[in-house]
Chains A and B, each alone.
Chain A
Amino acid sequence: MKQNKKEKKEKKAKNIIIKCGCDFLLPITLVLGMYIILHGHLSPGGGFQGGVVVSAAVVLVFLAYGNDGIRKTFAPDKMKVTENIGSLMYTFFGLLGILMGANFCRNAIFNIGNPGDLYSSGTIFWMNFSVGLKVMMGIGFMLIVMLRVLDVKNE
């Protein structure tokens, strides 16, 4: 009986350390991922890399709070819709080149702003953003589904 209590106490202490670490890391991960997505045309990175960094938030929430935390935090139905909106946005900005009288995926609107500014790249910024939206929602949804399998007991 005594040993059982001691083990419980040790388990609780470990959980507190993991929870505090994940709470500390979660906002840093989200802000770094969004920075990588939005500054894709100026600094190293882009839509795919930033999206993968943002989707690591799912793993952090699972490590700290388990499957119940994931169920409270994320909404998989809205994530599905957002992923489709991302791919539609990419197609729209690709077709914008044809509508303006040039090739597919041509940068149709340019010469806006000074070189080096955030909004200086025409449609490249928005294409990066839509790719990031699609990748972060897709990989996050895949991770949620895979982690939910752990709760199901076979046999």
Chain B
Amino acid sequence: MSIVNTLVIIGMVVCAIVTATVDDVLSCIISMGALGSFVALEFLLLHAPDVAIAEGSVGAVLTPVIFIIALKKVKGGKE
């Protein structure tokens, strides 16, 4: 196993823990987007570029955008 692979896996675990534990919703969404791009990078390292494109476009772009729209609609959970 190469060093890059290990670093990517460590980044995935850190992003997942931050997503599950942080109280602020916006930071939660941003760390989830970072988790999606790490997962896409890991798929690319495992020689599955087909899945990497799907995961990178859906998990790192589309899902955070939809969550941010919903968050803006409810005014950040205040009131």
Contact = CB atoms under 8 A, between A and B. Distances in A.
B73 to A, nearest CB: 6
Contacts of A48: 54
Contact of B65 (A44, A45, A59): A59
A150 B72 contact: yes
Given A36-B53, A44-B50, A52 B62 contact: yes
Contacts of B58: 52
Contacts, number: 35
Nearest to A46: B50
A48 B69 CA distance: 23
Given A143-B65, A150-B72, A52 B57 contact: yes
Interface residues of A, number: 16
A49 interface: yes
B66 A146 contact: yes
Contacts of A143: 65
A49 B50 contact: yes
A53 interface: yes
B53 A45 contact: yes
B49 interface: yes
A5 to B, nearest CB: 27
Interface of A: 36, 44-46, 48-49, 52-53, 56, 59, 139, 143, 146-147, 149-150
Closest 9 CB pairs of A and B: A44-B49, A49-B53, A52-B57, A44-B50, A49-B54, A146-B69, A53-B57, A45-B53, A59-B65
